[in-house]
Structure formats: structure tokens, C-alpha cells
Amino acid sequence: QITRARSAFRRETMGKKHKREAPDPGDLAHGNGTILRVKLTNFMCHHNLEVEFGPRINFLVGENGSGKSAVLTALSLALGVRARETRRTEKGIKGFIREGANFAKVEVSIRNVGDDALDPDVYGDVITVERHITQSSSSYKIKGKDGKDVGSSRDKLIRITDHFNIDVNNPVVVMSQDSSREFLHSGKAKDKYDFFTKATLLKDITNKLGYIKEQINEMNNLIKEKEKELPDVRAELDRLEEEKNSFTKLQELRKKVNELRERLAWAEVYQLETEQRNIEAEVAAREDVMPKIEELIAKNKRLAEEERAKATAANEEFHRELEKNNLTIAARDAARDRVRTLKRETKSKETTKISKANAIKLKQQDVEALETQIQDAQMTIAVASQAQDARLQQAVDKAQDRLDRALRAKADA
């Protein structure tokens, strides 16, 4: 089946219109990698041209000079051919811009259907390659079916053409008028052979083999250079391994120093806590004696009050007896005897009173001595706490000094 896609060429001088037939939609699934559409804007002799192609054989028909070769040139340029390789202009890429315009644009749509479709989730069933040409440069833009930009790099374009096996530089794939003229009119066997090697990719394979050999030679030379450097690299590796081992040992020593520092601090804390517990036990024991002493003092005070009351009563009785002695001599003698007896008793009781007062004074001295001991114990606890802080600080300073000496020794080493 041959589907004809008549061009809609329209030149201002010709004033003719050609009806374009749309491709059969049922053929889309059978033409993966074939050209669906070519659209030209301000390209060579075309102001605005769009040509649609079927999935099989297409004939592009038109009068001489109507721009049929321009469509093929545009197709080649859009798919990666460089401007000088087309041999259609001597001005470079800007030579393809239509006279009077300041830019040109070529859009080529490729079918992307079937099991062999390229990334259908990204491109959809149509891949459009657009090449925009200005007076100074040109750029690519690749779009999916929905018109969304997918990329703009030449590498992505090469991936697309390689996937669909479109080699626009191969004369069998794209044969321009100049190439066909040279092939038909040349009678030299060398030209025929060059065409054969180019068409069958033998020339490209030969060039790639030569490039690969050069790369292999460069890699062999690089391997030899690296082998010469290998002893130095191994020596450096050994040195780094030694440094790594030294660093590991240093880390272990630091860890051990920290452990010893912690153990030293806790040992001193334990010792101070033991001393503190002993002092607290002694203070508690003395505090247990205090209630007994206070009870004894209170008892002695009560006894002294009782003796004082008895002495007062005896003195009052003496005066009463003395008055009775004034009445009679017998009563006086009896009173004198009674007085002497009472004096003796009073003297005895005064002696007892003095003895008990001395005992009370001694108890008070014991109380004062115990209070002094309690104050001394509290001062001892405070001094012990200060001494503990000083010992802890001294231990930390000693450990820091040992660490500094170790670090200096490492630095000197």
C-alpha cells in the first residue's frame, strides 16, 4: 500500500494550492520510528509549510523549484545533520533562513508506538524534534505528544535517532540531490566503494576501530605510568596505615585516661563520704548523750531547790526557837542546843549544797565541752568538704597535666 501525501507548497509567485490528504489513523500503530509530520517556518523558500506522511512509502510531488529538496534538507537538519554537510548553503546555518525573515524553524514529528516505543511514559506516541535557527545560532527542543518540553540536548536527540535506527548521515537513509548526482555520474570504482563503505557503515566502523585502538594505546601508556607510580602509592598507603594505627592507639589511651580520671574522682569521693559518715555517726552519738545530761542537770536543779527550801524552813524554825529561849533559861539552853544542832545540820546541808552546786557546775562544764566538740565536729566537716574539693581539683589538674604531656609527646614524635 502506498499512501500519497501531497505537499501544501505555496509560493507567493506560483499562487497555486495543493490539497493535502491526511494519513490513515489506522496505520499509526504500524509505523513506529517513521516520520509523521514535517513543519517548516521561514525555511529556505517556504514561509509556512506542513507536510504529513503515512507510515509506509510516501511520494513528495511538486514542480521544479517548488522546494521538495528543502523538505529533505529540513528533515536532515532537524535530525542532527550539520549545515555544512548539506552543501546547500555557504553562509552556515543562517543561510537556511528565508529571505526577509530573521529566524527559521523546523519541526519533525516521529511516531513512537508499539512494543518498541521509546519511553512512552515520557514522550507519548509522538516525539517532536524542533530546531530553531537565528542569524547567529541554532538550538534543539524535544517535545512529547502533549507539547511538553522533554529536553534540549543533542545527546537526547542522538538517543532518539539511535533507538529508531535513523542515520541521516548515511546516503542510503537520506540521499540528497548532490549525493545522488555524484553517485550516478561518477565512474570511478573508488567513489563507488566509498559510497558502499559509507552506506554499509563499514567506514564508520573502521573509523571507530581506529579510535578504539588509539584509546587502547593511550590506556596502555596510562597503565604503564600508573604501574611506575604504584610503589610510591603503596609506600604512602603503608605510611597512612601506620598513622591510622597510631591514631587508634591514641584514641585508646585517651579512653583509658578518661576511665582512670573517673575512677580517681570517684575513689576520692568514696573516701570523703566514708569520713563524713564517721563524723556524722560520732556527732549522732554525742547528740544521744545530750538528753541524759540535760535530764541530770534538771534533776540537780530540783534537788538544789529542795535543799534551799529546807534551809529556809530550818532558819525560820531557829528563829522561833530563839524566841522561845528568851522565855526561859532552860528553854534557852535547849534552844541553844537546838540551834547548835540545827547549825550543824545546816552546815552539813550547806556542805551538801556546795557539793551539789559544784557537781552542777561540772555538769555545765561538760555541757559546754560537748557544745565545743559539736562545733569542732561541724568545723571538721566543713574543712573536710573543702579538702575534698581541693583534692578533686588537684586530681583533675594532675590528670589534665598527664594528658597534656601525652599530647606533647605525640606532637614531638
3-state helix/strand/coil string of 104-124: EEEEEEEECCCCCCCCHHHHC
Per-residue CA distances from 292 to 16, 299, 363 (Å): 139, 10, 11
What span, in angstroms and rounded, lies between the C-alpha atoms of 164 and 118? 9
Top pLDDT among 131 and 264 is at 131
pLDDT of residue 159 exceeding 70, the answer is yes
Q: So what's the pLDDT on residue 9?
A: 38
Cα 117 → chain centroid = 41
Q: For residue 132, name the pLDDT band (cuts at 50, 70, 90).
A: very high
pLDDT of residue 22 exceeding 90, the answer is no
What span, in angstroms and rounded, lies between the C-alpha atoms of 220 and 142? 40
Burial 95-123 (b: 16+ CB within 10 A, else e): ebbbeeeeebbbbbbbbbbeeebbeeeeb
Average pLDDT over residues 321-342: 70
Q: So what's the pLDDT on residue 102?
A: 92
pLDDT in tens, 195-219: 777 767 777 788 888 889 999 998 9
pLDDT of residue 29 exceeding 80, the answer is no
Q: So what's the pLDDT on residue 5?
A: 35
Q: So what's the pLDDT on residue 104?
A: 93
How much is the CA Rg of the chain, to the nearest whole Å?
A: 62
Strand pairing category for 46-52 and 138-143:
unpaired
**For the chain, what's the residue count?**
413
- Kindly report which listed range (132-146, 298-312, 319-333, 353-367) carries the lowest average pLDDT score: 319-333
Question: Can you read off the three cell numbers belonging to residue 269?
Answer: 569521693
Burial of 199 (0-12, 13-18, 19+ CB in 10 A): middle
Q: For residue 412, name the pLDDT band (cuts at 50, 70, 90).
A: confident
Among the ranges 145-149, 155-159, 184-188, 405-409, which has the highest mean pLDDT value? 155-159
pLDDT in tens, 144-158: 888 888 888 888 888
Q: Residue 82's closest CA among 41, 40, 140, 128?
A: 140
pLDDT of residue 18 exceeding 50, the answer is no
Q: For residue 11, name the pLDDT band (cuts at 50, 70, 90).
A: very low
Top pLDDT among 153 and 299 is at 153
**What is the sign of the dihedral through the CA atoms of 257, 259, 263 and 265?**
positive
Which stretches does DSSP call E strand in 44-166? 46-52, 103-111, 126-134, 138-143, 149-151
pLDDT of residue 278 exceeding 70, the answer is yes
- Kindly report which listed range (45-59, 74-88, 122-136, 273-287) carries the lowest average pLDDT score: 273-287
Q: So what's the pLDDT on residue 81?
A: 83
Cα 287 → chain centroid = 63
CB distance 143 to 62 below 8 Å: no
Q: Residue 195's closest CA among 217, 162, 222, 173?
A: 173
Average pLDDT over residues 243-260: 82
Q: For residue 40, name the pLDDT band (cuts at 50, 70, 90).
A: very high
- Does this model's pTM top 0.75? My answer is no
Q: For residue 131, name the pLDDT band (cuts at 50, 70, 90).
A: very high
